[in-house]
Structure 1
Amino acid sequence: MQKKVERKLFHLFIGELSAAVIFALIWIMYIQLFEWAEPYLTSFSSLYAFILLEFILLQGSFYWFLKWKQVQRKCYSHLPYHQLRLFAFFKRFNLLLISMGLLFMIYQFKVFPIDFYWFVFLYVFAIIEHINYYHIRLSYQSIEEIKDFIRQKGFRSSKLARELKNL
Structure 2
Amino acid sequence: MQKKVKKKLLSLFIGELSATVIFALVWIIYLKLFEWAEPYLTSFSSLYAFVLLEFILLQGSYYWFLKWKQAQRKDFSHLPYHPLRIFALFKRINLSLIVIGIIVIIYQLIVFPLEFYWFVFLYFFAIIEYINYYHIRLSYQNIDEIKNLIRQKELRSSKLAKELKSLQ
Q: What TM-score, normalized by structure 1, do the two folds share?
A: 0.99
Q: How does 1:5-154 map to 2 (within 5 A)?
A: 5-154=5-154
- The one-letter code of the counterpart of 2:3 is K
Residues in 2 aligned to 1:141 and 1:66: alpha-carbon distance in whole angstroms = 20
Displacement of 1:151: 1.1
Structure 1, gaps ≥5 residues long: none
Report % sequence identity. 77
- The one-letter code of the counterpart of 1:105 is I
Supply the RMSD in Å over aligned alpha carbons: 0.4
Displacement of 1:72: 0.5
Residues in 1 aligned to 2:86 and 2:144: alpha-carbon distance in whole angstroms = 32
Total equivalences in the alignment: 167
- The one-letter code of the counterpart of 1:60 is G
- The one-letter code of the counterpart of 1:121 is F
Q: Secondary structure at the match of 1:140?
A: coil
| Structure 1 ranges of 4+ moved more than 6 A | none
Displacement of 1:154: 1.4
Displacement of 1:92: 0.4
Residues in 1 aligned to 2:44 and 2:147: alpha-carbon distance in whole angstroms = 42
- The one-letter code of the counterpart of 1:140 is Y
Structure 2, gaps ≥5 residues long: none
Q: Secondary structure at the match of 1:30?
A: helix
1:34-54 deviations in whole A, cap 9, x for unaligned? 000000000000000000000
- The one-letter code of the counterpart of 1:81 is Y
